Structure 1
């Protein structure tokens, strides 16, 4: 099943990549979610070696480069995304190392090397959460930071209909699923918040912060009208789960 998911998802992302060019990169953590300039989860990144898991079009790495990081590393399943990121980052001040690879595998990324690893709306694509988090733990220096965001586990289990919130799926149900808002054949993974937390702990991380807040400005209302991540739905349940943790020294 894992290999089938990777093949299907790679094909899907290669096709839809242009639609997600620059979509919700850092300093954004997700739609209708608070931003890094509010949360300051990464702190001062100048001189840091950073790795982006699911780097997409490279815009989050570009944000890091503008904040004077020492090295930029990224991994993404999609060949199209990696080619796009290479073009976007060709004039970066910091050295760039990009790998076309599943996040479940190590394509040549050094161990115990990075100050910061992050993943913006990508972790739910993994076909093996434990292996991916084990890899992240291996990549980080002791005391290194891991920050990730993903669609909040409650969000896709409920729909906003008229003036009411309807639950369409049990919160306890986990595993592979076809996302309602994804318009190409693809398989994502759905977990409870506790599964993310417990797996991080079991992989050797110490949780520092969990964020489920939403950003509900008038600008957000206009940007997300009639979208999957709607302003009205976000008033009832969070769109995004953000977790910051540290590799134990």
Structure 2
């Protein structure tokens, strides 16, 4: 979905350990930029990217703020399983739009918003939460008390459009991975569940 990466300036929102930026560098990106809320992840990224030929810039910051990232600068901004953590989706997308050059690409992935509405119970998958009710809630996938925002897929799409993006492609068809005979269907991610509902969605958009 990224197309040609060689010679492109890229920014990773929620860069984590830096391995996706390492991948971008291996594909010839000219500049590697990343931001993450965690100081430990930024330190990990510095180690992973220490020997990259491309210029590297890392920021410890919430995605709802601009820590000093230039405007109209990037060919590609992307976020891998991080954008959904934002507490203010519109503000975050406003910033991302300003970072991109006109016509620049923004791609992100996140857990499909139907995925945590479905639970395995009594040998069946049942709907246990309202898909339509949006807002912060305790996330069951974490064994700690973690609040995360539930948003409908249409909310992501409409908020992108409202903040100056044109949708180019949406993928929510994830092929179920091979099922192990002993696999527990009640696991958060299971092949049985993936046969009913995709675990992930990916959106590719362009700055208008």
In the TM superposition, what is the alpha-carbon distance from 1:106 to its structure 2 partner? 0.3
Candidates 153, 164, 178, aligned match of 2:124 = 164
CA distance in 2, matches of 1:174, 1:217: 29
CA distance in 2, matches of 1:62, 1:185: 31
Conservation of the 8 A alpha-carbon contact between 2:106 and 2:206: yes
CA distance in 2, matches of 1:163, 1:98: 47
Q: Which has the higher contact order (CA 8 A, sep 6+)?
A: 1
Q: C-alpha deviations, 1:88-147, integer Å up to 9, x for none?
A: 110112111010000000000000000000000001100100000001000000000000
Candidates 34, 45, 58, aligned match of 1:74 = 34
Q: Which has the higher helix share?
A: 1
Please list every run of 5 or more consecutive structure 2 residues that lacks an aligned counterpart in the other structure: none
Which structure 2 residues correspond to residues 79-228 of structure 1 after superposition, within 5 A? 79-218=39-178, 221-222=179-180, 225-226=183-184, 227-228=187-188
Candidates 166, 191, 199, aligned match of 1:231 = 191
| Correspondence 1:244 to 2:204 | yes
Q: Give TM-score scaled by structure 2 length.
A: 0.95
In the TM superposition, what is the alpha-carbon distance from 1:206 to its structure 2 partner? 0.3
Q: Which has the higher strand share?
A: 2
Q: C-alpha deviations, 1:139-167, integer Å up to 9, x for none?
A: 00000000000000000111123541111
CA distance in 2, matches of 1:43, 1:161: 42
Alignment coverage as a number of residue pairs = 205
- For the aligned residue pairs, the C-alpha RMSD in angstroms reads 1.3
Moved over 2 A (4+): 160-163, 215-218, 224-227
Secondary structure, aligned partner of 2:2: coil
